[in-house]
Structure 1
Amino acid sequence: MLGGGHPDTAFGYATLASLQEDPSEAVGMLNRCLEIQESLLGEKHPAVADTCDQIGDALRRMGILERSLEFYERSLKIHQEKVDCHLPVARLYAKLGIVSLALGNGRDVVRHHARSIASLKDAPVKRDQAFLSIYDEAGKEMLRERDFDNAVALYRQALSIRKVMCGQLDPDIAIAHEGIGFALFSKGDYIGALREYQKSLSIRETTLEEDHADLLAVVEMVDIVRLKISKVESLPSHAGPGNGLNWTF
């Protein structure tokens, strides 16, 4: 029987934590894993950094954002002392930015995002879908909550990362513009949505056959958005306050 301080016991707790649907259960198991790792490996071991990162994720899912920041910052500090840890550092800055966004700390969002991009530029391998998914999933969550402004902000951050990782004509760039366009369309900003869909269309027309399904789908969305704009512009001037191009039908 393995003792409480055996490496395999720590691994067992980490494995069990990954299987938990309830993040609070995961936090409990990860904390036990962390205690064992610290006693066996020391507080600055990469495995300790990874566990702190996972605890931060679980706390973020629970909405315990300040504590989540603490664990992300601890993980970041460990990774920053290692060589060739550009991607983990970039990911952690991204997570710090997302939590700061949820906390309403706008300056921290900008600062963390800039450092995330800077770390990514130094990474030997630029393409890392797991890193991008941090922003993509957070953007989708904001859309589900109908928080369109933050969804757009997150999608724009993902786009700026993709521009570092991919060429300007990469299909992922087109997809990113479509995601921003959808968020703006949902918000009722049809002019902004049209601009994003047209950027996607420009890429699609360059890289795809004219009868390709992805190209035709973007053409259809451009037509839909233009129709919305024409409806708004045809409304009488007294129909409502403010900029009519932001209204939703």
Structure 2
Amino acid sequence: MGEYSKALEYYDKSLKIREISLPPIHPDLAVSYSNIGLVYYGIGESSKSLEYYEKSLKIREISLPPNHPSLATFYNNIGLVYREMGEYLKALEYCEKSLKIREEALAPNNADLTGSYLNFAACYEKMGDYTAALKALKNAYKIQQKTFEESNQAFALTFSWYGRVYRGLKEYSKALDYFEKCLAIDRKTLAEKHPYLAIAYSNIGDVHRLMGDYEKALEFHQKALNIQENVECDPLDCATTYMNVGETYREMKDYTTALTYYQKGLKIREEKLAKNHPDLAVIYHNVSKLYFSTQKYSMAIKYVQQAVVIGQEKLSSTHPHLVEYRETFEKIRKKQ
């Protein structure tokens, strides 16, 4: 678990041998490229992950018929990467390719269909289309109920996305209920320091913040950081926790501590993400609100402008985040 660098080392060695001994379109090369892509995805290196997934897909498209279920898996994986890169329309395009093949090739209650539905749900959640996200989640959950016991790890991701969607809808009690269901499964099925547990703790902490219980919020965020700062995991997940801690301290009016955590989260996101990634806009907006609260309006307007520019480029005009960025911009502008 989490030993990505070791995995990458062995996969690289295997790939070098295969590249020397096999023809360039051999299926075993596709397997190597896919494995390396998966490791890079796990450590938040989306561009590298995409590069290797596309190499693998190129071979698969030559060697397999266009409706082969294996192609659906590759399309789904590439969709996941585009989602992480903030390219939500491209992600949906690959999700649709994946789902089309799976719906034609598989039984209607096949567990592989849930992967496509969950990817759709995740894209729609990021795009602020919570109705479409809930519809996709219901499709995934319906299949899982027929296939697995409810304590199965497969449900954890579904419950986590339900929590995120209800958080977006500001239905915090429902969000908390789903995040707690996710955590209960993770605790039963995963190692004590697994990175997925940290994500669950961070999500629960964020909902407690939104419900105004800052003590509980910080308690859960600390549980998340105890894992994320001590095991190998996706640094972007750690950045999200730092941002959530920063938001908690900002709402507690401890602006110095809040800024410290924002800076930690921002440093990681600026290193790992494209300059126009929607997740950068989120933290720019949070920093802007902090500077507004401390009456540093020139700094506040600088950060909110960055958020608005990214939001206008990457999000729909009705996306809740972009609406909020514009409202904050107007509020600050009136103070200048």
Aligned to 2:16: none
User: Which letter does structure 2 place at the counterpart of 1:11?
Assistant: V
Tell me, which stretches of 5 or more residues in structure 2 are unaligned?
1-20, 190-196, 217-336
Is the CA contact 2:137–2:158 (under 8 Å) kept in the aligned structure 1? no
Letter in 2 for 1:2: L
Instruction: Choose the corresponding residue for 1:63, options 86, 90, 100.
Output: 86
1:47 and 2:70 matched: yes
Contact 1:152 1:183 in 2 (8 A): no
Task: Work out whether 1:5 is the aligned partner of 2:25.
Answer: yes
Identical-residue share of aligned pairs (%): 19
1: CA distance, partners of 2:134 / 2:161: 19
Aligned counterpart, 1:86: 110
1:32 aligns with 2:55: yes
CA distance in 2, matches of 1:87, 1:131: 11
Letter in 2 for 1:106: Y
Match of 1:103 in 2: 127
Q: Deviation at 1:93?
A: 1.3
Deviation at 1:79, TM superposition (A): 2.1
In structure 1, how many angstroms separate the alpha carbons of the residues matched to 2:87 and 2:50?
Answer: 11
Alignment map for 1:223-238 (pairs within 5 Å): none
**Offset at residue 126 of structure 1 (A):** 4.9
Give me the TM-score of the superposition, normalised by structure 2.
Answer: 0.44
Alpha carbons of 1:159 and 1:149: their partners in 2 closer, same or farther (altered >3 Å)?
A: same
User: Residue 148 of structure 1 contacts residue 183 of structure 1 at CA under 8 Å; is this kept in 2?
Assistant: no
CA contact (8 A) 1:13 1:32 kept: yes
Partner Cα distance (1:157, 1:9) in 2: 40
Residues 13, 158 of structure 1: alpha-carbon distance in 2 compared, 3 angstrom cutoff: same
Q: For residue 87 of structure 1, report the CA deviation from its aligned partner.
A: 2.2
Asked if structure 1 preserves the Cα contact closer than 8 Å seen for 2:172 and 2:210, the reply is no
Deviation at 1:106, TM superposition (A): 2.5
Structure 1 residue 136: Cα displacement:
3.1
> What pairs with 1:166-177 in structure 2 (closer than 5 Å)?
none
1: CA distance, partners of 2:81 / 2:171: 21
Query: Which residue is 1:136 aligned to?
Result: 160
**1:179–1:152 CA distance, 2 compared to 1 (3 A):** farther
User: Paired residue for 1:19?
Assistant: 39
Deviations 1:114-169 (A, max 9, x none): 212222223255543145236538968x99xxx79488766555678899x9xxxx
Q: Matches of 1:119 and 1:59 in 2, distance apart?
A: 25
The CA distance in 2 between the partners of 1:138 and 1:2, in whole Å, is 45
| Matched position secondary structure for 1:104 | coil
Q: Which has the larger radius of gyration?
A: 1
Residues 54 and 181 (structure 1), Cα distance of their counterparts in 2 relative to 1, 3 Å cut: closer
Contact 2:156–2:181 at 8 Å: present in 1 too? no
Normalising by structure 1, we get a TM-score of 0.57
CA distance in 2 between counterparts of 1:27 and 1:181 reads 30
